[in-house]
């Protein structure tokens, strides 16, 4: 469904992505792991065209585009296929939860307001915010704000949702409510590409795990491959530092 070939991205002389290849099938839950600065977030942002890759190919179903000379029309078509959940919510503080979810439908998809608000309510219901339509971000907990962010991504019915460390800005007690929503979406067959440090989510929900370092894919495989039998020493070093249960790592 989605394939990235030989994607490169540098900022000035700093190489952030160095020939990354990823293939995602419909219904996959792919988790990207790696230390800060390994290129995980930049990869997501390039897929969603929040950043422009220097070179490489992107194929989404029947559409293939070259990052080097991609056209605005192609970017628009590819963006319609993805939803993006940001690390820090990125909600409009002067708009209600309902307005935050509906605004993209109204302005970018040209959906009539009445229909857009109807769809937005269904999306908020799906993430457990039935009674919070008229709440502003300042009236919501961090976990609730992130659930609004998930609803905003989900309301477009995208082919794949990109999650950029969706729980990293949350207090520990709020993390589980966001992960619960993500697990439910996965059970329903939502295709997801997730940057996270939540190892339990990666082990339980992902069907494919990718470990990145210094802009390259070091190792990839099933959760069992990565967590119980990693091949690369760099992968083992990383996991030992962030997992308390060393039984998962050889």
Q: Is the pLDDT of residue 49 over 80?
A: yes
Q: Taking the domain 2-246, which CATH number applies?
A: 3.40.50.300
Do residues 236 and 249 lie in contact, with contact meaning Cβ atoms separated by under 8 Å?
yes
Interhelix angle 142-154/172-187, nearest 10 degrees: 20
Which strand (E) or helix (H) includes residue 163? strand 160-164
Q: Which residues contact 91 (CB under 8 A, 6 or more apart)?
A: 100, 137, 145, 148, 149, 152
Residue 4: alpha-carbon gap to chain centroid: 15
Burial class (CB in 10 A: 0-12, 13-18, 19+), 181: buried
With bands split at pLDDT 50, 70 and 90, how would you rate the model's confidence at 16? Answer: very high
Pairing label, strands 14-24, 160-164: unpaired
Read off the DSSP letter of residue 227.
H
Three-class SS state of 26:
coil
Q: pLDDT tens digits, residue range 80-132?
A: 999 999 999 999 999 999 999 999 999 999 999 999 999 999 999 999 999 99
List beta partners, residue 162: 84, 193
User: What are the residue boundaries of the structural domains of the chain, listed by start?
Assistant: 2-246
The arithmetic mean of pLDDT across residues 159-163, rounded, is 97
Longest dimension (CA), the chain: 56
27: Cβ–Cβ under 8 A, 6 or more apart, which residues? 189, 190, 191
Residue 245 in this model has a pLDDT that exceeds 80 = no
CA distance 43 to 135: 33
Least confident of 152-161, 195-204, 236-245: 236-245
pLDDT of residue 250: 43
Please report, to the nearest 10 degrees, the dihedral formed by the alpha carbons of residues 53, 190, 155, 77 taken in order. 40
Check pLDDT > 70 for residue 249: no
pLDDT digits (tens, 9 = 90+) for 190-212: 999 999 999 999 999 999 999 99
- Show the tokens assigned to 176: 């589980």
Q: What span, in angstroms and rounded, lies between the C-alpha atoms of 145 and 165?
A: 14
């Amino acid at each position: 469904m989605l394939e990235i070939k030989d994607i490169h991205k540098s900022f000035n002389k700093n190489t952030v992505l160095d020939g990354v290849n990823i293939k995602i099938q419909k219904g996959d839950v792919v988790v990207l792991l790696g230390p800060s600065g390994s290129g995980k977030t930049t990869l997501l942002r390039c897929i969603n065209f929040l950043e422009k890759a220097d070179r490489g190919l992107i194929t989404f179903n029947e559409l293939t585009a070259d990052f080097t000379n991609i056209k605005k029309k192609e970017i628009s078509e590819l963006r319609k296929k993805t939803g993006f959940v940001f690390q820090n919510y990125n909600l409009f503080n002067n708009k209600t939860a309902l307005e935050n979810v509906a605004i993209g439908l109204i302005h970018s998809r040209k959906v009539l307001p009445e229909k857009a608000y109807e769809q937005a309510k269904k999306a908020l219901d799906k993430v457990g915010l039935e009674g919070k339509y008229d709440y502003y971000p300042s009236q919501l907990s961090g976990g609730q704000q992130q659930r609004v962010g998930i609803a905003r991504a989900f309301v477009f019915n995208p082919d794949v949702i990109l999650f950029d460390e969706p729980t990293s800005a949350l207090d520990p007690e709020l993390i589980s409510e966001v992960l619960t929503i993500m697990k439910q979406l996965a059970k329903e067959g939502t295709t997801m590409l997730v940057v996270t440090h939540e190892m339990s989510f990666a082990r339980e929900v992902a069907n494919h795990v990718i470990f990145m370092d210094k802009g390259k894919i070091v190792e990839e495989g099933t959760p069992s491959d990565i967590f119980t039998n990693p091949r690369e020493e760099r992968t083992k070093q990383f996991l030992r530092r962030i997992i308390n249960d060393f039984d998962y790592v050889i």
